[in-house]
Structure 1
Amino acid sequence: MDNTSRLGQQSIPKLLAQYSIPAVIANLVNAIYNIVDRIFIGKFVGENALAGLTISFPLMILIFGFASLVGVGGTALISIKLGEGNQKSANHIFSNMLSMAAIVGLIVTIGGYLNLEGLLIGLGADKAVLPYSIDYMNIVLIGVTFQLISFSLASAVRTEGQPNLSMIAMVTSALTNIVLDYIFIDILGWGVRGAAIATIIGQFSGLLVLGFYYLKGKGVLKIVVKDLIPDVKLVKEIVSIGASSFITPIGSSMAMILLNVSLVKYGGNAAITAMGGVNSLYSMFIMPVMGIQQGMQPIIGYNHGANLKDRVKKTLIVATSMAVAFSTVVFILLETVPTIFMELFIEPSSPTMPIAVNGVRLFNVMLPLLSINLLGTAYFQSVAQIKKALFLSAARQFIFLIPVVLLLPRVLGLTGVWLSTPIADGLAVLVTIIMLIPVLKD
């Protein structure tokens, strides 16, 4: 049984384990290296430097959004074509996806450099944290193209039945980053510049692992030189399917900007520093859910293409159950022993610590059920129901989160800032359940 055909034959729990566990491990390691960045910065450079990275976070989310736009949109189409047995079309999409990733990466890099300081000031950077944000982003922007191509290749190898290779590439990238963080920040004292340099070298190392696999012709998918020329019709399809993955980080970036402004207004730079730790923990613990999502998508896409509806439905149910169970355990930990986690970023005696502990408890209130929204959106993407996927992505960020961020802090102050995200998440989960009911009944 080859790596792609087993998607339509093996038991769903076994497939989800084979595809999700490597993705969960890779995403966890990836999240850990982002946390290590912030631990080193917070401990060896200072709280203003950590606040500077927090201010830069919306731009980092935006870059990830562009990676998802290309990678998720392209591989969703590839999964369906492989399920249909159409290898030629799958290769055509794959080659177009890579050239699109390179072009978009260059555009984002150039656009970022044109007005970086203005962007960071608009994100809420003041004189104390702006130099750190500029130093960090000036270097990170160099690696955007590496990141987009690497994300696309990692998604592709999962789609063609090689989730372990995707994991190896991401773990290689993360471990490289962690080792270099220690050397550049602790030993050499390069501060936030060191963290940024470690990040782009790490991204490039992961790209090398995946690039050699395809350049040696080992993949099911093949790079066809003539297909690297962008096909306008196909690019539109990739963008339309990937748009729901893009909207989420766009909305997150906008909401984060508003959150940062409110944090400064109601809690000062201490609240911004606290959010750096809270966001790092949130990112780390949401990554396994993203791993389950990434493991689920090629299975659903292939079986949808092969018209195996029962397998599609079962995959959605089993994956969502796994994600909710994991998120519930994490929620209990964060609510019962938040100080242990926050001490990774902030000195226990710092006046920032009580703000951070309160923030992490409130910010993660809806964590157990958020998986329903994330996996529901991924399901509609995988079966190419573009409008539904777009609506769910937009609902969580634009329809719910941004209005709540604008209104709630005016009533509840800093507590309202922390509660904005879980309230929006709860509303998004409710809408997702309503939209999935007909799917599960069919």
Structure 2
Amino acid sequence: MSNTTTLYKEQNRIFQEMAPLKLFLRCALPNMISMAVVSLYTIADGVFVGHYIGAEALAAINLVMPLIMMSFALSDMVAVGSSVQIAIWLGKGDEKMAGSIFSSSCLLILLSAVVMGAAAYAFAWPLVRFLGASGEVAVLAVRYMRVYAAFSIFIMHFFAVDNYLRICGKVHYSMAMNVGMSLANIFLDWIFIGIMGWGIEAAALASCLSLMAGNLICFYPFFRGKLLLRFTKKLIPLKMTGNIIANGSSEFFNNISGSVCMMIFNAALLSFGGYLAVAAFSIIMYVDSVVKALMFGMADSLQPAISYNFGAGNPSRVRAIERIGQAAAFLLSLAVFLLMQTLGETLISLFSSENADLMAMSIHGMRIFAFSYLFSWCSILSGSFFTALNRPVFSLITASCNTFIFPVVFLLLLSGLLELDGIWLSSPAASATAFLLALIFLKNTYDRLNVRSS
């Protein structure tokens, strides 16, 4: 029996035969830990920058971070769309097509990295000025962004290879690499900023060096040819590339719209509260990044199993896996809400304890923002669920409404009435509205699965 056949049978046993709760624990917990630890590298930047460089540097990073995330949007789109197709073809037993999709997607991500990195470096100043930054904040923002742009071709695949490792059952390997990368980033932040006293570029450099090392280590098993997915010279047809892009469009729009939405929020914050309000919002977003990482880690980890069982014609198992994920996401969100209401000051003091105005503004904003977690879990899990079932329209609408349309609408409505408090309230209001929309789409999807199973 060949090694590939053995790997395929093991993957079949895990995705199709393992009890749904046990499957959830096996797939979700390592990935949630992995994603949460990965988010620590951005938090480490915030902690060291806030304590050693100052509030202006915090504001600069928050202003430019949406642009950096937009540069990774194409990579995420290809990664998510290709992962669904790979899992579906593996569910059908076609390993050669899965390998072709994997190879073509890696090439496509490399091309996007070249284009996005060059554009970000060349147009850094016009982009930062477009965001409304000026003076020292603008200078710091450009210096931070250009480091990421220079390293783009070395780090862009990192967010995709994690998906491919999970498909091949290497969840613990993936988790170990993510934890190692994050710890390396924190160590480099300490060396570069805390000990050597370097400026804001050091925070970006620490992140990029860690991501580059993690990227190389994650690809090592694929280069050895020992996993279910292997590099091939055969590229996929143009029509399938279009399907990958369409199915990953919700992730792309989620990244793009989330980044554009962040720019709009930053502009409103500058208008109503100045750079101090932007710094307060950045602290809340640092904490939020860990929570969202746990949510998306949970959702992404279930995608291969859901897509695999959907491709294998097992809708009842698809429903069971998704319901466990939704229940776990709700419990996590409730715990985070209570944590932010009771221990918000402790969390915020990690980033800034000397600026009393910044502390007060951040605590007040966090307590209002925390109400969004009572609703946002459903949209996050549902959007991933629709993607896994190859329903890109539902996934795209859910993502766009949750991350852009509803937040911007409520921002415009509430900030005009309540000013800064209206900005904080816009996120809970948007999450509650997106929650209702997700329930409607979930009912339609479950009805279709019921028809398929009958």
Normalised to the residue count of structure 1, the TM-score between the two structures is 0.97
TM-superposed deviation, 1:179: 0.7
Map of 1:219 onto structure 2: 227
| Selected match of 1:201 from 209, 231, 241 | 209
Q: Distance in 1 between matches of 2:405 and 2:62?
A: 24
| Selected match of 2:124 from 104, 109, 116 | 116
Contact 1:4-1:161 at 8 Å conserved across structures = no
Q: Distance in 2 between matches of 1:250 and 1:150?
A: 18
Does residue 83 of the first structure (1) align with residue 85 of the second (2)?
no
Q: Distance in 2 between matches of 1:397 and 1:153?
A: 25
Contact 2:100-2:233 at 8 Å conserved across structures = no
Does residue 187 of the first structure (1) align with residue 195 of the second (2)?
yes
| Selected match of 1:376 from 376, 379, 382 | 382
Gaps of 5+ in 2: 1-8
| Selected match of 2:345 from 327, 339, 352 | 339
Task: Give CA deviations for 1:14-33 in whole Å, capped at 9, x if unaligned.
Answer: 11111111111111111112
SS of residue paired to 1:128? helix
Map of 1:427 onto structure 2: 433
Does residue 352 of the first structure (1) align with residue 355 of the second (2)?
no
Task: Give CA deviations for 1:33-92 in whole Å, capped at 9, x if unaligned.
Answer: 210111000000111111111111211331342221011111011011111111111011
Does residue 35 of the first structure (1) align with residue 43 of the second (2)?
yes
Contact 1:12-1:315 at 8 Å conserved across structures = yes
Distance 1:4 1:168, change over 3 A: farther
Q: Distance in 2 between matches of 1:221 and 1:243?
A: 23
Distance 1:373 1:188, change over 3 A: same
| Selected match of 1:156 from 164, 170, 174 | 164
| Selected match of 1:267 from 235, 251, 273 | 273
Task: Give CA deviations for 1:94-126 in whole Å, capped at 9, x if unaligned.
Answer: 001100110111111012123111111222322
Q: Distance in 2 between matches of 1:275 and 1:118?
A: 23
Task: Give CA deviations for 1:328-358 in whole Å, capped at 9, x if unaligned.
Answer: 1011000112110010111254211111111
Map of 2:369 onto structure 1: 363
Matched AA of 2:255: P
SS of residue paired to 1:129? helix
Matched AA of 2:430: A
Task: Give CA deviations for 1:316-336 in whole Å, capped at 9, x if unaligned.
Answer: 100110111011101100011
SS of residue paired to 1:156? helix
Map of 1:72 onto structure 2: 80
Q: How many corresponding residue pairs?
A: 440
Map of 2:321 onto structure 1: 315
Matched AA of 2:39: A
SS of residue paired to 1:221? coil
Matched AA of 1:13: L
| Selected match of 1:126 from 116, 119, 134 | 134
Q: Distance in 2 between matches of 1:392 and 1:55?
A: 25
Q: Distance in 2 between matches of 1:191 and 1:13?
A: 47
Q: Distance in 2 between matches of 1:428 and 1:145?
A: 35
Matched AA of 1:85: G
| Selected match of 2:242 from 236, 241, 244 | 236
TM-superposed deviation, 1:220: 0.5
Normalised to the residue count of structure 2, the TM-score between the two structures is 0.94
Gaps of 5+ in 1: none
| Selected match of 2:60 from 52, 57, 66 | 52
Q: Distance in 2 between matches of 1:3 and 1:162?
A: 11
Map of 1:388 onto structure 2: 394
Q: Distance in 1 between matches of 2:295 and 2:244?
A: 24
TM-superposed deviation, 1:231: 4.0
Q: Distance in 2 between matches of 1:26 and 1:185?
A: 25
SS of residue paired to 1:364? helix
Distance 1:231 1:103, change over 3 A: farther
Map of 2:20 onto structure 1: 12
| Selected match of 2:71 from 55, 63, 66 | 63
Matched AA of 1:166: S
Contact 2:71-2:117 at 8 Å conserved across structures = no
Map of 1:405 onto structure 2: 411
Contact 1:142-1:200 at 8 Å conserved across structures = no
SS of residue paired to 1:225? coil
Contact 2:121-2:150 at 8 Å conserved across structures = no
Matched AA of 2:230: K
- Say which is worse superposed, 178-187 or 54-63, in terms of deviation: 54-63
What is the aligned-residue identity percentage?
A: 28
Q: Distance in 1 between matches of 2:365 and 2:159?
A: 31
Q: Distance in 2 between matches of 1:81 and 1:168?
A: 27
TM-superposed deviation, 1:397: 3.0
Q: Distance in 2 between matches of 1:259 and 1:290?
A: 22
Q: Distance in 2 between matches of 1:305 and 1:164?
A: 25
Map of 1:105 onto structure 2: 113
